[in-house]
Amino acid sequence: MEVLTEVLARIEEEKIVPVIKLERPEDAVPLADALAAGSIGIAEITFRTRTAAESIRLLRRERPDMLIGAGTVLTLDQLEAAVSSGAGFIMSPGFNPVIVQACISRGIPIVPGVNNPSHIEAAIQMGLGVLKFFPAELSGGIEMLKAFGSVYSVDFIPTGGLHAKNVISYLKLMNVAACGGSWMVKDEMIRQGNFNLIQKLSAEIKSSIAAELQIL
């Protein structure tokens, strides 16, 4: 429980969770350095490529101060690979009770995806208090989160359709702990080795968050 609390507190402190697809493990460290130079100390490495586990393992070894999580975890095999590689937290696009229970049983921080009351109530029943709202924009966006906030005492990490122009509006909601996005780490930026642009976009959004939310 202490680990879970610490991880969720770190995510809330960061405010932005870059959602990353890494095709080449050798891009992992330069990418992490670009994010860190832009004041982002967290990364969600998605299991949408075969190199996800290797990239997580590399980052845990080379950049231990960065909080590295695994995203798009859909199966128990992927969960095992993520945990074995040193992932500090797990995110999934949907609410899979098997994955959620496996994480809870092992004390692994899990933020499953939800986008309707039934999923939220199932998550609450399993003792979860922070949930991923996905796909955020297609599921009603800010207005849907406001509606959830009037009923449920849980926090959300909206992901899906977020970008530099709308993320601040999400973060201003009382029931949003942080936001996930990939606009600062687009596939082509990583593929082309454009880490300077990643650093620039990361710094810009963190600066905007600090100014808009008055975070020192």
pLDDT tens digit sequence for 168-203 = 999 999 999 999 999 999 999 999 999 999 999 999
Q: What is the pLDDT of residue 216?
A: 46
How high is the pLDDT of residue 68?
98
Q: Is residue 98 part of a domain?
A: yes
132 is an active site residue: yes
Looking at the domain assignment, is residue 67 inside a domain? yes
- Residue 68 and residue 14 in contact, taking contact as beta carbons nearer than 8 Å: no
Q: Note whether residue 212 is domain-resident.
A: no
Based on its alpha-carbon atoms, the radius of gyration of the chain, rounded to whole angstroms, reads: 16
CA-closest candidate to residue 28, choices 70, 67, 56, 64: 56
* DSSP class of 176: B
Residue 125 sits in a domain of what CATH number? Answer: 3.20.20.70
Structural domain includes residue 41: yes
pLDDT at 1: 55
Which residue has 């004041």 as its token pair? 39
Catalytic residue among 21, 132, 137, 206: 132
Mean pLDDT across 70-78: 98
Domains of the chain: total = 1
Find the mean pLDDT for residues 18-29: 97
Residue 211 within any structural domain of the chain: no
Average pLDDT, the chain: 96
In a domain, 213, yes or no: no
In a domain, 135, yes or no: yes
pLDDT tens column, 143-172: 999 999 999 999 999 999 999 999 999 999
- Mean pLDDT to the nearest integer, 59-75: 98
Tell me the residue range of the domain where 200 lies.
2-205
- Residue 100: the pLDDT is 97
Is 146 a catalytic site residue? no
Query: Model's pTM, two decimal places?
Result: 0.96
Contacts of 105 (CB under 8 A, 6+ apart): none
Q: Pick the catalytic residue: 14, 15, 44, 206?
A: 44
Whether 47 is covered by a domain: the verdict is yes
pLDDT of residue 5: 81
